[in-house]
Structure 1
Amino acid sequence: MRDTISWRKNLCKKLCNSDELKQHIVSSLVNADTQVQQRELKRLAQLIADVELGLTLLKEVAPEEPATSVEALLKGYRFPVEQLQSDRNWQLIQNARFYLIKRKGRQWLRVLQEYITLPEIIRIYSLEEARNVPQPIPSSTYPTRLDKVYLPTLSKTPQHRQRKVNLVTEGQWYAKISQKGHSPVEVPIEIPKEVANIAPSSGVSLHHTRTEQNSQCSVTREELILAAQEMDDKLSLFGQQENYRNRLENILFQLYDAESDNFHQGNHLNFEGLMHIVGLLNVGKSTLLEILIYFFAKQGYRCGLMVNDVATAVRLASLFSHKLQIPAAPVLGSKRQEQLAKVYEPILKSEGKEVTKGGMHPAWRWFSSVCPLLALVQSEDKWEFGNEPCHKLYQKVLVADNDDSDDEDRQESDEKYTCPFYYKCPRHHLEHDIATALVWIFTPASFIHTRVPRQGFEQDLTFAEAVYRECKFLFVDEADRVQIQFDEEFAPDEVLVDASGNSFLNKLGLNLATIYNSDRGDMAGDRFVAWTSAHYHTQNATNRIYHLLLTHSKLVAWLGPLPFTGRSLFARIIRDLVDPPEIPVSAKPKLTRQQIMEERRKRIIEADLAPTEQRRRRKQMMDELDEFLQHPLNRGLGGELSDLALTILTAESDRQALAEIAPWCKRWIEIHNLYLPDETQFEELTRNLQFAILVTILDNRLGFIVDNLSDLGRVMNLHDLNQDFLHRPPPDFLPVLPESPVGNILGFLYKQERSVKKAGKLDYFRYVGVGRALLLNFPKLFAVDDWDGPHTVLISGTSYAPGSPAYHINVKLKPTILLPK
């Protein structure tokens, strides 16, 4: 995690002390109390800083472009325009994406519009409309902030946050445990002096093996054969006959020659940047991969290896560490109980020295369930394996300075501390091994989601960033499969409901049924109650949406084959009211797919070139709906439309729902002086509004469910659900990955079956970035930090598949082909 806030702290402080900004807050929030005004003051100060940083970027990169163009700059694509051909400009844009990652897309347009409404006296850019070119103006508040703050900030990337381990001291401490969805229980822990001083500092630090530059490297076939023989000799001591040498000698290297544009047999492999090794099934790709890792790690180079599953990661880490004498460790996530279940049967149960006589597999070291702190817990409540409060211990502080205060006058401290056994705890042996290992072995999920441990690492990094800085090589087995997994991590999709009964909401409802079949004791937790409420509204809204799709063909025709969200549906309704089509939909001739796409393109262009007054009216109407679109079931924020939404959710029939919508719709049309459609068109309009309201509710509540679903893993079985929905990728990657081509959106898509008798399929998707860019650009992913990435070797058998956009690795590489001898 990077520090993307410190750059503006001093500026925000001066803006908050500005009399002009304070007066603006007081005049706009006349009846608000001081606390509300202070929050708004802080928010606007941050908004001013962020918007002006974006406008400064525009001034440096494309000074003739309108302020709205910042949105395009933050997408992460180096478009073929003159302004982006400059390396300096591209560097500024990449730097700015780190600081403005929360202001991209629609957010930029929203904060830009709010910036325009602020008094010019506190701004340094004059801007009357978002489509205008911003012009620098003087300001009496921090007048030098352009040169002293914005330009220096754009010249560098934010630094990673430093992490310091603060061990608890002697005295009374507390930890909170939560089991099966219940409210957290506070557990007291008395720490004696002897325990507090058991290990005051770490006995291990990260073993660094490389610098900012990563020079090219090479290896000959003869060197690899010698390494393979060493591996065979070492494994023979354990009674294993792996025959690495024999398998390697049966592989032919076909190397690409640029001059002849063809392949020829060779015995020399060069590693620089991105490399692709392809080969047929069982030709020996994995054999070559393991020999390469052994060869380079033995020379002191750290290597990363990405494999398919946890069991493979543990097996190979154990092979290198315990048999080939190369320090290695698997990189595993936080759910150690689930991981133990995955590796116990294939590895830990039957392997190991003299298992039948009580011996243990050496990999058990990475799965120890021993927690020494439990011996000091003064409560019958205990935490389960994998839920230890290693870094979450806290003390109680007095609410007020009162020496006579008792326990009731104390509250939980915000500062959290680390267990005194941390550096000696068996539970953290894996962290110790990772810091000294020369081979790190990941799964795609742990590569993206897992953060480096506090032991050995001073900075807060994802393991992908740690690999980028610390590994000379990264080997990716089955790269075509990994490419798809990365895409799914950043753009997951799922069938919400269909006729099969195996959809996301069906499975979710069945899993939740186990709770309702119990004594409902799990509902004691506030979070669980909030989640079940969101689940009810989600299922209710989905049922009503699906009913409308199945019973109203005109609604399905109105939606068409394109994705939709609540916001996009309201925007479409408003556009049709403000700019009514000249030809009724029913009178339009049947068009081919190509003609439909062409018509859509023309409509987009015409909408963009529509008269200014029409655009203004559409925008005004959408702005009035903004609070409802963000908080559809909150009467205090969403107003009358939220009341209507709650009424629709309880309507006994469509007729009743339409009867509730009709009066509001007529008032809405009259207020904005719009044309009132005839009776048939008005009925379709209210139907479309009903559908848009329900989709807005579903959009909001489903997002809440997905964001909080992983918290319910202790209460119900989630293994048969799409795990990509449960684990969002860390925001650390968003500044270096391009935005999804269709935009970073959450939305829906209805696919109608060819047979009208069959129910269609309602899909749900969430696009936040191009996942494969993480893999295919990895050697230069964080080049903005002036740091070379590892030489990345992609290994696969089906990656060259031009007809398959999913599996085809679409980068210009000089591949190496492996053939049987």
Structure 2
Amino acid sequence: MRSITPPLTDVFNALKAFLGSSVPQPALEALCQVELGLYLQQKMMPGSPAGSAWVLFSGYGFAEAHRAPLPSDAAKTLRIARDSLWTLRRSRTWLDALDTYQRFDARVRAYDVPDADAPAARRDLSVAGDRFSVYEQLLRAAPPLAGKRLPVAGQGPHAFPVSRTMAVVDLPPVPRTPLVAHDMDLEPAGGGEPLIFTRESLEHTAAEMDAQHARSGKGRAPRWLERLRSFDLSTKRNGTFHKSRKDEDFAFTVDGIQHLLGIVGAGKSTLRDIIAVHLAKLGKRTTIVVTDVAEVLKLVRLYDLYTDGAAAPVLGSSGRERHAQRLHRRLAGRGEHRLLAHDDPAFAYLGTSCLLNVRRQGATSTTEPLAYGEAPGSRLRPPSALRRDPSDGRYSEWQKRVTSCPYWSVCPRHHGARTLVGALIWVATPAGLIVASPPRPQNGERIRFLELACRRSDLVIIDEADRVQMQLDQTFAPAVVLASDEDTGILDQLSRHKIRELAAGGRTQLSERDVETFAAALNTAGAATDRLYAMLVAGYELRKWVRTGYFSAWTLQLGLLDERYELPDDSGRDHPHHAPREALGKLLDAFRDNPFGDRHRRTEEDFSRLTALLNELLHTGNPENTRRRLAEVMD
């Protein structure tokens, strides 16, 4: 995650000096974000309505589809701009941001946007007049990554939360150990150039792998060279596929996305493993993506044998205990039931112990060790300075500022995180790449391993791409049931969570505007869902009219228009139904975009009767009277 705050620090300071300290930092960031979006729009599409700027940083090619005359370097500029403007990529979000922006003091605004349907007018600036040079910089290079590394805890007592209490550890003086951290500016060793593989080079690597395995004397010979020579490889040439003979040297190039297809047992995994080891021997970095953690640990052990320990797994922390238990069960299933005899190398990456267990105050040999999730690797709080009266209810003995454990660089539970820094082969699952991040004591930057792998890797190999794609779809485009039973209905889950959290906090969270808005929106969604369910359950004809298993306001509107003013496929504008259908469509469009009428009115259509009826439908205590009024409006 990136932050526009560091480049705009001087701008924020100037704005705060003029507006006063009462204006929060997020409000100033929102102001500069809107101005950056408007500045981008005037560079790319001058003269276009201010309300349409969001299409440029939405991530979709709307501007190209409408044949807008974009500059030659537009693709790169838009890609960089999305790092700063991705939170405004939706139409409604952008329009709301424009409304909020227009309410700022005119003397600090670089633009005047009285009407979102007209171009923004640039203003002369008297406060932070150099801000446009910073905006230009943000369109040429992405802003820095957000976050910073945690400070290391010093000598003396420190506290950390355990359940609802604070546990205390007394830290001795610890010699500072050089921290092994990821280089965020590290690029692929090959500079991102295409990779060319030949039969001769891969067979040479396979032969070395066979020799290495023979020297290790471990298990059955894998016969890498024989397996490589046994499969047929067809490569694409001149628009068709050419099958290489057994004695013929082949060469294929990976430039961008390359698909490798073959039936089960054809040798795809063999080629994957040989390529990974081949690139590691050349000093190049590879990321292998597989579908489960057991396969991750198996491949790391395999690659370590042939690359002198140059492989490491990308594992999250939340499931580590479960993975360790599963590995113990697999080893016990092979006949070894003694836990102390389980010496699989994978346990080095599944450590769950904490060095601070023995440093806790009051701990004895019978004290229960810390649970895995309670370890204070990045949650140690130093003591507060005694500046307040301890009888003050707001006084806390410990600071809110957190520090990292001084033993982090040698702690066995973080062995995997340290190994990843210098590893030439990363092996990961999709979830590990998407969810996991470098630990804050190691790297303060807020970045996922997926982005880090893309930055540093010369090659990313995705095994069983169809299954990985399914996992990505479930992560980024999940099909969620709105309301069902207590386990699957997202609305029911959110409602339970809201009630539980508000009750636990005495509803003090509602003092935050965002929490209050969310709670109100959830209540409204629940009320609307209950009304819809009541109508659908009670009315067979209504269920028949809806027809499909899902619907939206747009599909219902189309069905209503087709039912009220049906148009034949070959009808023109002179058809008697065309004008009333178009008028009703505009009215429903305006109502759908602003159903409660609480947003800035951007249309001449008067849908106030529909808004009043909607509020009555949601909160009526006299459904018969409301049903009569609904029939009058529909007629």
**TM-score, length basis structure 1:** 0.62
Residue in 1 aligned with 2:462? Answer: 476
Establish whether residue 440 from structure 1 lines up as the match of residue 426 from structure 2: yes
Task: Name the residue aligned to 1:151.
Answer: 136
Which residue in the other structure is 1:715 paired with? none
* Whole-Å separation in 2 of the counterparts to 1:220 and 1:622: 65
The answer to whether structure 1 residue 62 and structure 2 residue 40 are counterparts is: no
Q: Aligned residue for 1:128?
A: 114
**CA distance change for structure 1 residues 356 and 456 in 2, over 3 Å: closer, same or farther?**
closer
The 8 Å contact of residues 337 and 386 in structure 1, kept in 2 or not, is answered as: no
* Alignment-derived partner of residue 631 in structure 2: 681
Counterpart of 1:298, as a letter, is K
Q: Per-residue CA shift, 1:97-150, capped at 9, x if unaligned?
A: 11122222111011113333555443222332100012222233333433x332
Corresponding position of 2:31: 48
Aligned residue identity for 2:157: Q
Superposition pairs for residues 279-298 of structure 1, below 5 Å?
279-298=262-281
Equivalent residue for 2:96, pick from 110, 121, 143: 110
CA contact (8 A) 2:2 2:84 kept: no
For residues 239-271 of structure 1, give each alpha carbon's deviation from its aligned partner in whole angstroms, at most 9, with x where no partner exists: 22222222211111111112x644342512223
User: Is the CA contact 1:348–1:364 (under 8 Å) kept in the aligned structure 2?
Assistant: no
The alignment partner of 1:389 has SS state of: coil
Q: In the alignment, what sits opposite 1:699? A: none
User: What displacement does 1:215 show?
Assistant: 2.2
**Cα separation, 1, equivalents of 2:482 and 2:592:** 31
- Give the CA deviation at 1:371: 1.0
Counterparts of 1:289-438 in structure 2, within 5 Å, are 289-322=272-305, 325-335=308-318, 336-346=320-330, 350=334, 358=341, 360-378=343-361, 383-398=370-385, 400=387, 409-438=395-424
Aligned to 2:5: 5
Structure 2 contact 437–449 (Cα < 8 Å) conserved: yes
Aligned to 2:191: 213
Distance 1:275 1:228 in 2: 22
Q: Is the 8 A contact 2:160 2:166 kept in 1?
A: yes
- Would the aligned equivalents of 1:166 and 1:417 in 2 still touch at CA under 8 Å? yes
Select the residue among 158, 161, 184 that pairs with 1:176: 161
- Cα distance in structure 2, aligned partners of 1:327 and 1:121: 58
| Residue identity opposite 1:69 in structure 2 | S
Change (3 A) 1:55 1:507: closer
Separation of aligned partners in 2, 1:550 and 1:280: 48
Distance 1:57 1:64 in 2: 12
Name the amino acid aligned to 1:239. G
**1:253 maps to what in 2?**
233
| Number of the residue aligned with 2:84 | 99
Give, in whole Å, the separation in 1 of the partners of 2:328 and 2:455: 33
| Corresponding residue SS for 1:504 | coil
Q: How far apart are the structure 2 equivalents of 1:288 and 1:75? A: 39
Secondary structure of 2:325's counterpart equals helix
Task: Check the 8 A contact 1:204/1:456 in 2, yes or no.
Answer: yes
Output the CA distance in 1 between the equivalents of 2:507 and 2:343.
40
1:199 offset after TM fit, Å?
Answer: 4.4
**Which of 499, 504, 525 pairs up with 2:488?**
504
For 1:330, what is the secondary structure of its paired residue?
strand
Deviation at 1:331, TM superposition (A): 0.6
- Pick from 620, 624, 628: which aligns with 2:598? 624
Q: How far, CA to CA, are the matches of 2:46 and 2:584 in structure 1?
A: 22
Give runs of aligned pairs for residues 30-41 of structure 1, distance below 5 A.
Answer: 38-39=22-23
Distance in 2 separating the partners of 1:617 and 1:369: 56
The Cα shift of 1:42 comes to: 5.1
Q: Any conservation in 1 of the 2:404–2:441 contact (CA below 8 Å)?
A: no
Q: Is the 8 A contact 1:315 1:347 kept in 2?
A: no
Q: Identify the residue that residue 608 of structure 2 maps to in structure 1.
A: none
* Counterparts of 1:137 and 1:10, CA distance in 2: 20
Match in the other structure for 2:480: 494
Q: Secondary structure at the match of 2:481?
A: strand
In structure 2, what is the equivalent of residue 88 of structure 1? 73
Post-superposition shift, 1:67?
A: 0.6
CA–CA distance in 2 between the matches of 1:161 and 1:430? 24
TM-superposed deviation, 1:223: 2.4
Do the aligned partners of residues 644 and 679 (structure 1) sit closer, same or farther apart at CA in structure 2, a change above 3 Å counting? closer
Partner of 1:14: 14
- Counterparts of 1:141 and 1:605 in 2: how far apart (Å)? 51
Q: SS of the residue aligned with 1:624?
A: coil
For 1:383 and 1:609, locate their aligned partners in 2 and report how far apart those are by CA, in whole Å.
62
Q: Distance in 2 between matches of 1:136 and 1:493?
A: 43
* TM-score normalised to structure 2 length: 0.78
Matches within 5 A, 1:351-750: 358=341, 360-378=343-361, 383-398=370-385, 400=387, 409-454=395-440, 457=443, 459-496=445-482, 504-505=488-489, 526=505, 545-553=532-540, 555-556=542-543, 606=582, 622-624=596-598, 656=621, 658=623, 662=626, 679=629, 681-682=631-632
Matched residues in 1 for 2:114 and 2:526: separation? 45
Structure-2 separation of matches of 1:324 and 1:92: 40
Aligned to 1:803: none
Distance 1:47 1:270, change over 3 A: closer
Residue deviations 1:268-290, cap 9 Å, x none? 22232222111122111111111
Please provide the CA RMSD for this pair.
4.7
Quote how far apart the aligned CAs of 1:550 are.
1.8
Alpha carbons of 1:618 and 1:199: their partners in 2 closer, same or farther (altered >3 Å)? Answer: closer
Q: Counterpart of 2:136 in 1: which secondary structure?
A: helix
d(CA) in 2 for partners of 1:507, 1:117: 34
Unaligned runs of at least 5 residues, structure 2: 510-514, 601-612
Amino acid at match of 1:469: R
Residue 263 of structure 1: aligned partner: 242
* Aligned-residue offset at 1:464: 1.4
Q: Which residue of 2 aligns with 1:186?
A: 166
Structure 1 unmatched runs, 5+: 23-34, 179-183, 513-519, 627-639, 649-655, 663-676, 686-821
> Aligned pair in 2 of structure 1 residues 561, 122: CA closer, same or farther (>3 Å)?
farther
- Amino acid of the residue matched to residue 263 of structure 1? H
1:671 aligns to what? none
- Report SS of the residue matched to 1:483: helix
Matched residue SS, 1:276 = coil
TM-superposed deviation, 1:316: 0.7
Higher RCO (CA 8 Å, separation ≥ 6 residues): 1
Offset at residue 60 of structure 1 (A): 0.5
Q: 2:172, 2:269 → 1: CA distance?
A: 52
Q: Distance in 2 between matches of 1:13 and 1:605?
A: 54
Task: Report the equivalent of 1:202.
Answer: 179
Aligned counterparts of 1:657 and 1:381: Cα–Cα separation in 2: 60
Is the 8 Å Cα contact of residues 206 and 456 (structure 1) preserved in structure 2? no
Quick check: 2:483–2:492 contact (8 Å CA) kept in 1? no
Contact 1:452 1:466 in 2 (8 A): no
Structure 1 residue 157: Cα displacement:
0.7
